[in-house]
Amino acid sequence: MSLEVTVRTHAAVSIAVSALIVAAPALAQTPHRSVPATQGIAAGKTLFDAQCAWCHGAGGDGGTGPNLHGRLRHATGYTSIVDIITNGIPGTEMPSFRSPLTAKHIGQIASYVQSLGRTRSAVAAGNAEHGAAVYQANGCASCHTIAGAGGISGPELTGIGATRGGPYLREAIVRPAAAHPPGYLVVRAVGNDGKDVRGIRVNEDVFYIQLRDAAGAIHVLQKSELSKLERQLDASLMPSYDARITGKDLDDLIAYLTSLRGVK
């Protein structure tokens, strides 16, 4: 190879190497094409429908768990939603999904839930103002408390709209036993003297059981003096209002209950 050819070859290599060096930073700064957010949300919806809808309702409209549209009490952003799905919420019925779901799946569900938070849920059909009158007319306040007023036999309702969805509340009114709230175990106790007491279990130990009956009276019973003690897991002290509250009145009552989001 002649000297001239060698020089030309080295020059060509130098130019090519220089071009690569100059181009390298530009290539490094080129962003990778990420998966479109809509695809992550779509995947999250599929997972949500399989894992979460049984509690939060189809489309996040609420059921046993709260409606997920609009501003949420615990979930204030993507990070907090991921934390809630991963670890649950202590003191509530929201469990941890750390075991059945991967971090990727939890992130996809969080993206979907966050998208729900940007939209408003459909307004419950009915007139909440008239629903409040239906609530009072049917004696609901004798068992339930709202904003510190009412009875104590049934669950507190001050913030029920933030923790339960309309379909659940409707079922709780027309079929109370099917929507049995946790912490309200019905027990029937029959004494050796034949006295029959049925109520919500307040407390229980080896020797005694305390029951609160439908009228709110507390009964302290010694187990050794009982001939029968039945724990009625699927029962409720609340009567069915299926035939008493119907049509527009029922719609209005549901609208009122779903509007209860806690004392402001």
List every span in the chain annotated with CATH 2.30.30.100.
186-232
Tell me which H or E stretch contains 53: helix 53-56
Position 21 pLDDT exceeds 70: no
Averaged confidence pLDDT in the chain: 82
Pick the CATH number of 186-232 from 1.20.120.80, 2.30.30.100, 3.40.920.10, 1.10.3470.10: 2.30.30.100
Lowest mean pLDDT among 134-143, 177-186, 202-211: 177-186
Superfamily (CATH) of domain 128-176+239-258 = Cytochrome c-like domain (1.10.760.10)
Segment of 12-16, 159-163, 170-174 carrying the highest mean pLDDT: 170-174
* Residue with token string 């939603």: 81
pLDDT band, residue 234 (cuts 50/70/90): confident
Which contacts of 240-246 are long-range, i.e. CB under 8 A and separated by 24 or more positions?
240/174, 240/175, 240/176, 241/138, 241/173, 241/174, 242/173, 242/174, 242/175, 244/138, 245/134, 245/138, 245/173
Q: Average pLDDT for residues 134-141, to the nearest whole number?
A: 96
Helix then strand count (H, E) for the chain reads: 9, 7
Position 137 pLDDT exceeds 90: yes
Higher-confidence residue: 176 or 24? 176
Give the integer Cα–Cα distance in Å for 152 and 161. Answer: 18
Q: Average pLDDT for residues 216-237, to the nearest whole number?
A: 94
Give the integer Cα–Cα distance in Å for 59 and 56. Answer: 8
Segment of 69-78, 109-118, 121-130 carrying the highest mean pLDDT: 109-118
Distance in Å from the first CA to the final CA of the chain? 91
Pick the CATH number of 37-117 from 1.10.760.10, 1.10.3720.10, 1.10.150.120, 3.30.930.10: 1.10.760.10
Position 183 pLDDT exceeds 60: yes
pLDDT band, residue 37 (cuts 50/70/90): low
Higher-confidence residue: 223 or 122? 223
Give the integer Cα–Cα distance in Å for 264 and 261. Answer: 8
Position 222 pLDDT exceeds 90: yes
Record the tokens describing residue 129, joined without a space.
Answer: 């103002």
Q: What is the pLDDT of residue 264?
A: 56
Lowest mean pLDDT among 32-46, 51-65, 176-190, 244-258: 32-46
Q: What is the pLDDT of residue 207?
A: 96
Segment of 67-71, 142-146, 213-217 carrying the highest mean pLDDT: 142-146
Q: What is the pLDDT of residue 100?
A: 83
Position 214 pLDDT exceeds 90: no
List every span in the chain annotated with CATH 1.10.760.10.
37-117, 128-176+239-258
Q: What is the pLDDT of residue 128?
A: 94
pLDDT, one tens digit per residue, over 77-111 is 899 999 999 999 887 888 899 888 999 999 999 99
